[in-house]
Structure 1
Amino acid sequence: MHLKKVETMTEASYAERARAKKMAQAHALEIDDALISDLVETFYRAIRDDALLGPIFEAHVTDWPPHLARMEDFWASVTLESGRFRGNPMLKHIAIGGLDDRHFNRWLVLWNRTLDSIAPNDAAAQVFREAAERIAGSLLTGIKVQRDGLAGVSRAKEKQSC
């Protein structure tokens, strides 16, 4: 029993050190809650004005201030390891229905434009860009698997490699 407790404490200590290290690295790049708030608010203004994505968000977001606060928590968890975000983005995006490559590509274009105008430096922008690309890819893959099964994802990858 004592060994199990030591292992759990060691794992917790490791996780805490890893979170602290990631947060210190982010802060060194000038990534903080103020930047994330500015980024999220500016990005979602662009989303709401976008002809492709605006109508989708307007149909699914009924109260913007809580949504923006939730997205700030999400990006703080991604970049600062804050642990403030709780939720399942995959289920939310699957529930929308009809999302495909063009929606995620447009989302990334708007995200990158926002980063170009908001990010304090190229290294900070790169942290957000890489995270957004991973997230978009993961969500799109999950949506395709839900809609078409694994065979549909394999077919899509075959088309991309041709």
Structure 2
Amino acid sequence: MTEPGYAERARAKKMAQAHAMGIDDALISDLVETFYRAVRSDALLGPIFEAHVAEWTPHLARMKDFWASVALEPGRFRGNPMLKHIAVGGLDHVHFDRWLVLWNRTLDDVAPNDAAGQVFREAAGRIASSLLTGIKVQRDGLGSGSSARETLSC
């Protein structure tokens, strides 16, 4: 048997660090389920999700894989979130700000400690900024003015 390469060691280290903070598949499942209950009942985001998510069970499974890929195990999720969000149409900073508010409230209730919560907060902030930037570039072109990071208030 050969010694693990850099990528394998990096993945193992990331998983060990996550587990040490209490981040595991059970936490991610609880986080995603709790968050999307809040989203579905939200006056701003609920109607958007209801219009674009036909089957919630597979959507939640994909979101669990997505967040597991972010926090635990790179490569678990396959897909293109940017294209999905561009296809929704009409999304702007107000939607991502609200998404982050709901996400952070959920973390306040679900995260086992501040360190675990911070992992998910920072990732969500980067993801929201990236998606908003991509949407603005797609909609307005490269010369669209302010960056997404400047327009997100959370």
Q: Secondary structure at the match of 1:150?
A: coil
> Which residue identity is paired with 1:156?
S
Tell me which residue corresponds to 1:37: 29
Larger Rg: 1
Match of 1:93 among 85, 101, 106: 85
**Offset at 1:82?**
4.5
Tell me which residue corresponds to 2:146: 156
Q: Distance in 2 between matches of 1:78 and 1:17?
A: 17
TM-score by length of 2: 0.92
Q: Distance in 2 between matches of 1:82 and 1:91?
A: 20
Divergent runs of 4+, >4 A: none
Tell me which residue corresponds to 1:115: 107
RMSD (Å), alpha carbons: 1.6
Tell me which residue corresponds to 2:135: 143
Q: Which structure: greater helix fraction?
A: 1
Q: Aligned pairs, how many?
A: 148
Tell me which residue corresponds to 1:24: 16
TM-score by length of 1: 0.88
Q: Secondary structure at the match of 2:146?
A: helix
Q: Distance in 2 between matches of 1:83 and 1:136?
A: 20
| Percent of aligned pairs sharing the same letter | 80
